[in-house]
Structure 1
């Protein structure tokens, strides 16, 4: 049987079967389409503007290394006009983070980018090794996650940067969707599926240019581009809840390759149910990405919106048409019920004393919107008197063993 030819160029021998849609591609076409899909995500969502300083959250792993390489390539190819800087967080995990930071230092030289390293010890007075020694391995990811998010913001502020990009990929987003569904946390689901997070009240916005890129394709891109990255997993992560969601996602992917983006899409659609939630999906309106050709029913583009992607309102539209048909058949004997917002009545006004809304004998609790302020202790943005990091640090400091001389 003769070797299969690339599905795009039709001339070179196909060496790669895309995990996303099983499309057979040659090396150069795969690299090109991967970069074009990331470019599509960036431009359709308007992530950057000319002259902007952008910090890349660099850990030395495959995701952040590929992100740095792709952004450097696309910035030069499409003239984004952005200034890229590597920002690394040193959690203080011996045998893991110290080794990965050596990779980041090499990447800084390879990509000709400035590098800033911020450590937990200098920000919080604790390293993750000390945290785990104090509280144990169960629940330590909660501490690290809160500390890391705040450390990225503080590091960006030190550099005078208001935009941080991270290497979160489609697998990561799908895992987060499942985790928040299992927790029943719809508001957090809305934030986690957004390609851009942050608000006018926040000093730093974050974005995920690799949101629609499969983890396996990121590995293939790094391999064929011969990128230098660190591949060891965190020594404290096996106890994390995310591991269970990851196993489920991988099993689904074996049965249906598009399952990862299907979960991401579902998360985006559910996020729209949250009142006041910002758009969480790619803003391409279903346009095809460059170099995209239909391979089979599961063919998916960079954002998964050009093949079979819908706005999630087909059932509502169908029901509306059915109601219109029934009303026409009844020749005016029936009245169509529309979904227009009813006018507020005096008895529907919320009671400011108990935060409830009374409608037709039913009491509905009202969730008041939190006001974003600053932490009284560290000055970091928070809706409470103390930010999450300071509250966690208080509990740690209470359990810190006293040193006697």
Structure 2
């Protein structure tokens, strides 16, 4: 059997089967399409402006490594005019973060980018090793998540940077959508699905250029570009709840490759139900779809493009079915009306959760202890630190 040819160039041998839509591509075309899709997301969502200084949240893992590589490539190719800096957070986990930081340092040399490392001990007076030693492994991810988010913002402020980009991919966003749906947390769903978080009130805004990129394709890109990244999982991070959502999404992906992007888009649509929520999707979403070329239908485009659209045959069948239903409507007999006189009066059922409070947008202010942006009088980080410091004082006594 002759080897399959690339669906785009039609000349080179296909070496890659895209996880997003199962299109068969050669190495060169896959790399080009991946970069073009990220470029489309950046341009359509207006993530950057010329001359902007941007910090890349670098952990040494595959996502942040690919993000740094792609941004450097696109910045040079399309003339974004960005000043890129690597910003890494040292949580203080021996045998994990110290090793991954070595990878980040090598990436800084390879990509010719300045590197800033900010440690938990410097900001909070605690390392994660000390936190786990004090509270145990149960619940330690809560501490690390809160500290890390604030540390990125503080590190950016140290550098005089007002924009941080992170390597969150489509799989990450889909997992978060499911988790927030299971919690019934619509306001958090709005924040987590937005491609840009932060507004004029925020000191540092964040964006996700890889929001529509599949995790498997990020791994393929790193492999074929021969990028150096760190693969070891955090020794304190079981992430049971997120792991369950991840497992469900992987099962759905095996049945329907577009499931990940479908979940992301559904999360974006539901996020619009939050009062005052801004647009959470790509800037091209909602515009009239331009006709797709044969190649675009085959391999997909920016923001997942055709990977999430139903093919034309399905739309035609749906339209035909709707017309048939309208034509048959005149032949139907409304049995309910003919039996209305024989039926008892309808009883209105009570509406559940009638006393529930409407969803409202949180009002951002500043923590009175550290000054960090918070919707509460005292931010989460200071609340957690207060408990840790009390435990330390009791132990010393």
Aligned-partner Cα distance in 1 for 2:170–2:112: 28
CA contact under 8 A between 2:167 and 2:209: conserved in structure 1?
Answer: yes
Question: Partners of 1:216 and 1:111 in 2: how far apart?
Answer: 23
Deviates more, 1:45-54 or 1:126-135: 126-135
Instruction: State the Cα distance separating 1:369 from its structure 2 match.
Output: 4.9
Aligned partners of 1:28 and 1:291: how far apart in 2?
A: 19
Q: Which residue does the alignment assign to 1:98?
A: 98
CA pair 292-281 structure 1, distance change in 2 beyond 3 A: farther
Q: Is the Cα contact below 8 Å between 2:38 and 2:210 reproduced in 1?
A: yes
- Cα 1:34–1:3, aligned 2, differ >3 Å: closer, same or farther? same
Are 1:373 and 2:365 an aligned pair? yes
Aligned to 2:35: 35
Question: How far has the Cα of 1:309 moved from its partner?
Answer: 4.3
**Residues 14 and 234 of structure 1: is their aligned pair in 2 closer, same or farther, counting only changes over 3 Å?**
same
The offset of 1:287, in angstroms, is 5.0
- Cα 1:214–1:184 shift into 2, 3 Å: same
- Residues 187 and 359 of structure 2 are in contact (CA less than 8 Å); yes or no, is this contact kept in structure 1? no
Partner of 2:159: 159
Deviations 1:24-49 (A, max 9, x none): 00000000000000000000000010
Q: CA deviation at 1:110?
A: 0.3
**Cα distance between partner residues in 1 of 2:290 and 2:133:** 51
Over 3 Å counting, the alpha-carbon distance change for 1:392 and 1:77 in structure 2 is same
Partner of residue 400, structure 1: 392
**Which residue pairs with 2:113 in the alignment?**
113
- Indicate the SS of the match to 1:77: helix
Once the two structures are TM-superposed, the CA of residue 191 in structure 1 deviates from its matched residue by 0.5
Structure 1: stretches of 5+ with no match in the other structure: 330-361
Are 2:297 and 1:294 equivalent residues in the alignment?
yes
How many Å separate the matches in 2 of 1:302 and 1:74? 14
Aligned to 2:253: 253
2:70 equivalent in structure 1: 70
CA apart distance, 1:236: 1.2
State the superposition RMSD in angstroms.
2.5
* 2:32 paired with 1:16: no
After the TM superposition, list the runs of 4 or more consecutive aligned residues in structure 1 that deviate by more than 3 angstroms.
286-292, 305-310, 362-371, 401-405
1:264 match: 264
Question: How many residues are aligned here?
Answer: 358
Q: Is the 8 A contact 2:297 2:306 kept in 1?
A: no
Alpha-carbon distance change, 243 to 288 in structure 1, aligned in 2, over 3 angstroms: farther
How far apart in 1 are the matches of 2:50 and 2:306? 28
Q: Tell me what 1:131 maps to.
A: 131
Shift in Å, 1:255: 1.3
Secondary structure at the aligned position of 2:95 is classed as coil
2:223 — aligned with what?
A: 223
The whole-number CA distance in structure 2 between the counterparts of 1:253 and 1:141 is 27
- Aligned pair 1:177/2:166, yes or no? no
Q: Which range moves more in the overlay, 12-21 or 378-387? A: 378-387
Structure 2 distance, partners of 1:302, 1:95, is 38
Contact 1:8 1:291 in 2 (8 A): no
Instruction: Note closer, same or farther for the CA distance 1:288–1:394 as it changes in structure 2 (3 Å cut).
Output: farther
Q: Residue 26 in 1 paired to residue 18 in 2? A: no
* Pair 202,186 (structure 1): closer, same or farther in 2 beyond 3 Å: same
1:268-308: CA deviation from partner (whole Å, max 9, x where unpaired): 1111111111101111134589995223xxx6433134466
Contact 1:288-1:301 at 8 Å conserved across structures: no
- Equivalent residues of 1:138, 1:240 under 8 A apart: no
- CA distance in structure 2 between the partners assigned to 1:239 and 1:270 by the alignment: 25
Q: Retained in 2: the 8 A contact 1:199–1:205?
A: yes
SS in structure 1 opposite 2:12? coil
Deviations 1:38-75 (A, max 9, x none): 00000000001000000000000000000000000000
Match of 2:351 in 1: none
Verify the 8 A CA contact 1:376 1:385 in the aligned structure 2.
yes
Contact 1:37–1:290 (Cα < 8 Å) also in 2: no
Shift of 1:366: 5.4
Mapped contact 2:262–2:308 kept (Cα < 8 A): no
Match of 1:261, SS state, is helix
Residue 199 of structure 1: CA displacement? 1.5
